[in-house]
């Protein structure tokens, strides 16, 4: 929501992309959390400390949080800890994205530049839909999933929790991808994938 004051959790690599999109979408960044203060600070943000530190002071406020952590499992773990403190996560949606009005999603998600999301698609919580990804009609994406830059999910694809769909990969319509799956960059997936598998290539194996 434009004008909301937020705290960025994670401020390197992917966190820079989220910070940029947050500012472009009208959010007000109050600062960031990290284990240590970052020497590289492209957006001149205030260091607020480590959210896991017992002396972290932001629990005493009504501030909201956004996620800048790229790794799925770490992002989910940190988010669950912050949620346990009864804090709230916002979604960050870059204004250049094109999203159907019938799309639905949970909390703590990031939708990057030039993403296209078509009718009746839905995603869970804590996901990354990265630069120029395409999520076609009626796709279903679980929690803490990362759809990398340029990936294309054709219609009615489902992706399980904690899975990673690599850059410029293509998932054929109707495919089911399980939990904790890794699809390598540039892969073409034409068969269903079970839980905990890694596949690469064209066709992906």
Q: How far apart are CA 66 and CA 69, in angstroms?
A: 9
Indicate whether 102 pLDDT > 90.
yes
Its pTM stands at 0.95
Structural domain includes residue 14 = yes
Let me know whether 142 and 187 are in one domain.
yes
Domain that holds residue 56: 5-90
Tens of pLDDT, residues 58-92: 887 788 999 999 999 999 999 999 999 999 999 99
* Same domain? 118 vs 189: yes
Q: Are residues 86 and 113 in the same domain?
A: no
Are residues 138 and 194 located together in one domain of the fold? yes
Q: Is 104 within a domain?
A: no
Say if CB 165 and CB 159 are below 8 A apart. Answer: yes
The Cα-based distances of 37 to 8, 25, 51, 82, 141 in angstroms read 13, 25, 12, 19, 34
CATH of the domain at 118: 2.160.10.10
- For residue 1, pLDDT over 70 is answered with no
Domain tally, the chain: 2
Q: Does 123 share its domain with 186?
A: yes
Query: Sign of dihedral through CA atoms 36, 51, 81, 147?
Result: negative
Structure tokens at 141: 């994406």
The answer to whether position 134 is within a domain reads yes
Whether residues 129 and 189 fall in one domain: yes
* For range 111-120, the mean pLDDT: 98
Q: Are residues 17 and 85 in the same domain?
A: yes
pLDDT at residue number 60? 77
Query: Which of 85, 51, 96, 94 is closest to 69 using CA atoms?
Result: 51
Is the peptide bond prior to 203 cis by the omega test (within 30 degrees of 0)? yes
Compute CA distances 79 → 71, 82, 102, whole Å: 12, 5, 26
* Residues 86 and 114 occupy one common structural domain: no
Do 115 and 81 share a domain, yes or no?
no
Q: CA angle at residue 107 from 105 to 108, to 5 degrees? A: 120
The verdict on 127 and 82 lying in the same domain is no
Cross-strand pairs, 193: 177
9 and 74 co-located in one domain: yes
Report yes or no on 131 lying in a domain: yes
């Amino acid at each position: 929501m434009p004008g909301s004051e937020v705290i960025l959790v994670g401020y390197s690599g992917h966190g820079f992309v989220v910070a940029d999109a947050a500012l472009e979408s009208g959010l007000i960044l109050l600062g960031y959390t990290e284990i240590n203060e970052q020497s590289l600070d492209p957006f001149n943000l205030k260091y607020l400390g480590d959210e896991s530190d017992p002396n972290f002071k932001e629990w005493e406020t009504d501030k909201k949080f956004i996620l800048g952590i790229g790794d799925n499992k770490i992002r989910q773990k940190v988010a669950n800890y912050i949620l346990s403190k009864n804090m709230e996560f916002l979604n960050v949606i870059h204004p250049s994205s094109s999203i159907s009005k019938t799309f639905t999603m949970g909390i703590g998600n990031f939708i990057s530049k030039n993403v296209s999301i078509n009718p009746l698609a839905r995603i869970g919580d804590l996901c990354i839909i990265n630069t120029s990804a395409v999520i076609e009609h009626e796709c279903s994406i679980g929690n803490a999933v990362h759809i990398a830059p340029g990936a294309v999910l054709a219609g009615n694809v489902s992706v399980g929790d904690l899975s990673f769909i690599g850059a410029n990969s293509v998932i054929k319509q109707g495919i089911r991808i399980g939990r904790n799956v890794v699809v390598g960059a540039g892969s073409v997936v034409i068969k269903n994938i079970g839980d905990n598998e890694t596949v690469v290539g064209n066709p992906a194996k």
